[in-house]
Amino acid sequence: MDELLSRLFSSEEEESHMLDCMAHFMVFMAACTLVTLLFENVPYGRYASSKYGFAVNVKFAWFIQELPAFLVPLALLLWTSSSKTSLLPNQLLLAMYFCHYTQRSLIYPFLIRGGKSTPFASFALAFVFCVYNGYMQVRYLSHYAEYPADWVTHPCFIAGSGLWLVGWLVNVHSDHILRNLRNPGETGYKIPRGGVFEYVSGANFFGEITEWAGFALAGHSVHSAAFAIFTLVVLTSRAVAHHKWYLAKFDDYPKSRKALIPFVF
């Protein structure tokens, strides 16, 4: 794989510059996505529409679209000279990334209960995003990122890691609550109860946004910040859309519940 990368890039400076450009482009795409989402919901789940391509089985879609986020980084670690993987801050940040994507790509798809099919366009975009982001995050952390020797005791790293952990636990727990709303074979919607759902409609999204914001704080790079910004844009829109949908659908929906941020928004 080193040989492939050396064919693509004439020097390490060139690849490093490309990684920076990719992060800036992701922020640009987040801005474009923000504008698009002001006019249209992401076409998936309860909002799915046939105008975005044929329907892909939901478990197959989640497994295949998320797999590159796990396999591309794994290939980078196994088959490239990852010169920074012996450093503790890099190891811990890589562990956070892999912890999330091991669950998301190898476990989450097989736990889904009665999920709606995914339109091909959403599936294809998610696949491309996972390849792009997987390469950007892990190539940077494994080969280029340099932190001060005592970075793991820096308040930014400690607070960021803590936020990452809390966010991940909230995300996994909230997805678990959603899944258990349905008995096997059911496909309808119910009011989520318990955990962070007592405070917000998008508890799973709140967890994931917190998670990547923490990762960005601990990682202190334009690459991790771009991912956190992209996640914020995409998932805020989903939380707001779900919140409005619940209020319109259920007369007894808890009135004090917010969309995304407990007590605030």
Ligand X SMILES: NC(=O)c1ccc[n+]([C@@H]2O[C@H](COP(=O)([O-])OP(=O)(O)OC[C@H]3O[C@@H](n4cnc5c(N)ncnc54)[C@H](OP(=O)(O)O)[C@@H]3O)[C@@H](O)[C@H]2O)c1
Per CB under 6 A, residues contacting ligand X are 45-46, 112, 115-116, 171, 175, 178, 181-182, 187, 189-190, 192, 204-205, 208, 231, 234-235, 238
Going 139 to 161 to 238 to 113, the CA torsion angle's sign is positive
Minimum CB distance to ligand X smaller for 57 or for 81: 57
Residue the block writes with tokens 């914001």: 213
- Rounded to the nearest whole angstrom, what is the least distance from the CB of residue 133 to ligand X in the complex? 9
Minimum CB distance to ligand X smaller for 23 or for 235: 235
- Rounded to the nearest whole angstrom, what is the least distance from the CB of residue 139 to ligand X in the complex? 19
The Cα 103–Cα 106 span in angstroms is 6
Minimum CB distance to ligand X smaller for 85 or for 103: 103
- Rounded to the nearest whole angstrom, what is the least distance from the CB of residue 175 to ligand X in the complex? 5
| 118 secondary structure, DSSP code | E
Q: Which two tokens stand for residue 124?
A: 């294809």
- Rounded to the nearest whole angstrom, what is the least distance from the CB of residue 54 to ligand X in the complex? 16
Bridge partners, residue 200, by sequence: 258
Minimum CB distance to ligand X smaller for 87 or for 241: 241
Minimum CB distance to ligand X smaller for 9 or for 132: 132
- b/e sequence 234-249, b meaning 16+ C-beta within 10 Å: bbbbbbbbbbebbeee
40 φ, ψ (degrees, to nearest 5): -150, 140
- Rounded to the nearest whole angstrom, what is the least distance from the CB of residue 30 to ligand X in the complex? 10
Residue the block writes with tokens 């939901």: 58
Minimum CB distance to ligand X smaller for 1 or for 111: 111
- Rounded to the nearest whole angstrom, what is the least distance from the CB of residue 245 to ligand X in the complex? 9
Nearest to 242 by CA among 194, 198, 204, 207: 204
DSSP code string of 164-201: HHHHHHHHHHHHHHHHTTS-TT--------SGGGGTBT
